[in-house]
Amino acid sequence: MTDSPALTEVEQYGIERIPDADRTATPLDLFRVAFGGANTFATCVLGAFPILFGLSFWQGLAATVLGLVAGAAILAPLAVFGPRNGTNNAVSSSAHLGVHGRIVGSFLSLLTAIAFFSISVWSSGDALVGGAHRLMGVPQNDGVFAVAYGIFALLVLTVCVYGFRFMLFVNKIAVVAASALFVLGLFAFAGDFDSGYQGVFPSSSSVGFWPAFIGSALIVLSNPVSFGAFLGDWARYIPADTPRRKVITAAFASQAATILPFFFGLATASIIAQKAATYMDASAPNYVGGLLAVAPGWYFLPVCLIALIGGLSTGTTSLYGTGLDFSSVFTRFSRVQATLFVGVLSTGFIFLGRFAANLSQSISTFATLIITCTAPWMVIMMLGFLTRRGWYDPDSLQVFNRRQRGGRYWFNHGWNWRGMGAWLISALLALTFVNVPGQFVGPLGDLADGVDLSLPVGLGTAALVYMALLWIFPEPREVYGPEGPRLVRASDTPVPPITTETGAPVVAAAEGV
């Protein structure tokens, strides 16, 4: 194993398999990046939703813990693909959706990253400007907000261009610094905090309680799920022989640790609801503004620091994965070129949404819809890993990126309609159950008296349909490796050899890993 590259050395690897000698990351590094990307103001905003929905503090805490544990449990198994295959999760999905079908994962991660990057920049930028206004009298106008957003975007883009090692360095600092500032905030608001805050629904029998409780839990759950397509971006630098339980534990712990920003958001939202209720108006909520309104003067500087650190760490984890995935779909772009292109595109979207099209309120709904479609994809990946016994052919995974044809994962002209069919059916059905009041309500969104059932429906449908399709229409035996399939059958359908686009044969594929 070689020494780690210098921080200022621009990362050269794209989505090709990372050589074993260059895999110097650890499960702890995975924890730092994943936790650092979620230990931000954006997570605090999500933590405020239980209060915004009318729950009491303790009801909101119960919903938060439920959503966080469930989301972390769904996310954690997705961490195994990076060390196993040495590439990102979108490329690994070739094994289950086909050589061409893997673009589903790439575009889901692209859309998710843009959405959460926007949420992060908007919330952190607003907090930074608001804190600077209260601390130093900086004016709050469009020009100042534009400068704040531009600074964030430039800093994030710089870190992402340098790549994984620089991003890891930033998140090592962010994990400690942001956590310390959040803990300091708990002391800052301790005098105003009342754990007996009753909300609108003081008892579980109140009309509307369960939709609010389940909706709050699902919003919290969506935060860990949003990392599903990105875990491989960071875990691919972990050695392949690292025990799976350590990698899975690191991914789970990274999300469980976000109870800190979630609790901060929940507790401060309950204070805002009592001392500055206008900021928690459901029709036009402004958590960041409310936080600054109730915060003691000495905490304004920590608010600015949280905004800067949090915006940088979340932005880098989102944009890095986006550039990597974009380069995997449009292989003429290097990782650096793809990162620059998507960075400029994302920054343009942020400015358009904030100043021209007023998309800042609906972006959270956009993120919800994306995650509703991503969750079934995650289930298919996990069940695919289970049925394949964790065996993959690295050469066949790279067929799309090398502009080749054939291989173990070619299936039907590059599409595995079993995985694709299960994803399409479950994602479309889940979308019909979405219920985001005032923004988007699917045709079946009111079926459960206002309770949003989209994620449970999507997860359950994906599992049932995918396993049924694998059993009724067995995949070729060669995709399962030497030990054969687990829980499903296999067929004796021959697998086409890997060839170039012109039909010329390629050197025989290497052994699977």
Contact 11, 162 (CB under 8 A): yes
Beta-carbon contacts of residue 185 (< 8 Å; ≥ 6 apart): 264, 268, 299, 302, 306
Alpha-carbon dihedral of residues 416, 372, 460, 263, nearest 10 degrees?
Answer: 140
Residue 360's Cβ-count burial label (10 Å; 0-12, 13-18, 19+) is middle
pTM: 0.87
DSSP states of 325-376: HHHHHSTTS-HHHHHHHHHHHHHHHHHIIIIIS--TTTHHHHHHHHHHHHHH
3-state class of 381 per DSSP?
A: helix
Contact 481, 384 (CB under 8 A): no
Beta-carbon contacts of residue 182 (< 8 Å; ≥ 6 apart): 39, 260, 261, 264, 306
Angstrom distances, CA of residue 299 to CA of 238, 289, 306, 344, 463: 39, 14, 11, 33, 47
Beta-carbon contacts of residue 330 (< 8 Å; ≥ 6 apart): 338
CA distance 423 to 385: 16
Q: Shortest CA distance to 44 belongs to which of 213, 302, 291?
A: 291
CA angle 128, 71, 438 (to 5 degrees): 65
CA distance 374 to 458: 9
Amino acid letter, residue 442: G
Contact 279, 174 (CB under 8 A): no
Residue 502's Cβ-count burial label (10 Å; 0-12, 13-18, 19+) is exposed
Three-state SS for 268-297 is HHHHHHHHCHHHHCCCCCCHHHHHHHHCCH
3-state class of 230 per DSSP?
A: coil
Distance of CA 287 to the CA centre of its chain: 22
Q: List the chain pLDDT tens, one digit each, 513 residues.
A: 445 555 556 666 667 889 988 898 999 999 998 998 888 888 998 899 999 889 999 999 999 999 999 999 999 999 999 999 999 898 999 999 999 999 998 888 888 877 777 777 777 788 888 888 888 888 988 899 888 888 888 888 888 777 777 777 777 888 888 899 999 998 999 999 999 999 877 655 555 788 889 888 988 998 899 888 888 888 999 999 999 999 999 999 999 999 999 999 999 999 999 999 888 876 667 888 889 889 998 998 898 888 888 777 777 777 777 777 776 677 677 778 877 888 888 888 778 877 776 555 566 677 778 889 999 999 999 999 999 999 999 999 999 888 889 999 999 999 999 999 999 999 999 999 998 776 788 999 888 877 888 999 999 999 999 999 999 999 999 999 899 999 999 999 999 999 986 666 665 444 445
